[in-house]
Amino acid sequence: MDMWDYKPGLTDLFDHDLPASVLGAQVLTGMTAGQARLPVAPSPWKFLQQGKSGRWVSELLPWTGKVVDDLAVIHSLHTDAINHEPAFLQMNTGNMVVGKPSIGAWLAYGLGSMNQNLPTYVVLNSKLVPGTGNFPITPRLWGSGFLSSRFAGVALRSQGEPVLYLNDPAGLNREARRAMVDSINIINQMTYEEMGDPETQARISQYELAFQLQTAVPELTDMGDEPGTTWELYGPEAREPGTFAYNCLLSRRLAERGVRFTQIFQRGWDIHNNAVSSTPKMCAVIDRACYALVTDLKQRGLLDDTLVVWGGEFGRTVYSQGGLTRENFGRDHHPRSFTTWMAGGGIKAGIAHGLTDDFSYNIVRDPVQVRDLNATILHLLGIDHERLTYKFQGLDQRLTGVEPASVVTALLG
């Protein structure tokens, strides 16, 4: 509600109690359930109408506002989870239970690889923003679950060498390394023929990929071939490895090299207090970089067949967590409604989908469950979510699970 869901009527309701009719029977987190009041905290930032579509966008996102006509903004996303870990899992794996494959792993399984030198699925975890939270994320968000481990995401490090032990040790040339990998793979193939464990085949492919990465990753991360216009577009932060801006540029380079799925994480959004100072910091980190990525892909003719999805695991409450003043307040977790946006890849650009009530609290039109979002993403990538299955524990497992999920046709171009 501080970035995308414009609610001008809240300005006059500062420090009023959230009406019981709006709250309903929702279970609150332990961080606000004990509060005597749930005082309304209107967004302190101005909203401006941007683009030909006239989309309302917060002043915190001046760069993203420039490409709003290329976006499909979804105001009515909702999730089943109210706490981080289950919400992370549902957004990334389609299920709040640990052990399911991530969406990137499902896509690697369903679509296969388009190159032999880089992973099909790459994860980029951006550096923390000074003065913001450090909520941990774990590899199970990009894991392969019950699928083969070769479909799991490969995380490139944000500091130091992107991949540890990538360089050959002194005295070992490429020919010797090639012979070593070939010999190991012969042994692994013998083991597979004896034991029949499919994970042995995954190990063979991973050894081969690791060998190819030794030349592919240095070329990928050598930004010396980028023209000056690239740095003007992405801004000075893109020159620092591990920043969100750098990772957005790196994701474009990955797309050019045939990597199917790249996922960028930026921690620091868990703003339970000091929202007035922390929210602008986080928006400044992602704003120009998101604009640059969409613009860059469009200029290079890549946006039509590249889908960009921006969002988080849930929203934040209209009421303040803790004390409320004009200068300081916090926002708790809010699963009932939040905003995400999509660009490229066959979406209908320049639209807004869904509507929340006057408190940005409940969805009143066109709800989109996380399962619906994932079904739509798969559809845009040419996959029927009901047919992308894997037999495990007696069930035809799907990213969208066994509960109802539908493609949001209104988002399709």
Residue 375 lies in a domain: no
Residue 265 lies in a domain: yes
Residue 366 lies in a domain: no
Angular region, 15: left φ>0, alpha ψ -120 to 50, beta rest: left
pLDDT in tens, 149-181: 999 999 998 888 898 888 888 888 989 999 999
The Cα–Cα gap between 87 and 161 comes to 31
- Could you list the residue range(s) of the whole structural domain that residue 152 is in? 84-285
**Does residue 333 sit in helix, strand or coil?**
strand
Average pLDDT over residues 58-71: 98
Average pLDDT over residues 357-380: 98
6, pLDDT greater than 90:
yes
pLDDT in tens, 317-356: 999 999 999 999 999 999 999 999 999 999 999 999 999 9
133, pLDDT greater than 80:
no
Two structure tokens written together for 24:
């309903």
Residue 230 lies in a domain: yes
134, pLDDT greater than 80:
no
Average pLDDT over residues 207-231: 92
Strand partners, 343: 71, 308
Which residue's structure tokens are 């005082």? 39
Residue 127 lies in a domain: yes
Residue 111 lies in a domain: yes
Query: What pLDDT is recorded for position 363?
Result: 98
Band (pLDDT 50/70/90 cuts) for residue 136 is confident
> Whole-number mean pLDDT of the chain?
95
Residue 382 lies in a domain: no
Which amino acid, one-letter code, is at 377?
I
Query: What pLDDT is recorded for position 196?
Result: 87
Q: What is the pairing mode between strands 47-50 and 390-392? A: unpaired
Total domains present in the chain: 1
Angstrom distances, CA of residue 270 to CA of 90, 122, 195, 264, 267 = 17, 24, 47, 17, 8
Entry pTM: 0.94
Residue 72 lies in a domain: no
Average pLDDT over residues 72-78: 98
Which residue's structure tokens are 């390394």? 177
Residues 6+ apart with CB under 8 A from 275: 2, 41, 328, 329, 330, 331
Band (pLDDT 50/70/90 cuts) for residue 222 is very high
What b/e string do you get for 153-176 counting C-beta neighbours within 10 Å, with b at 16 or more?
bbbbebeeebbeeeeeeeeeeeee
Query: What pLDDT is recorded for position 63?
Result: 98
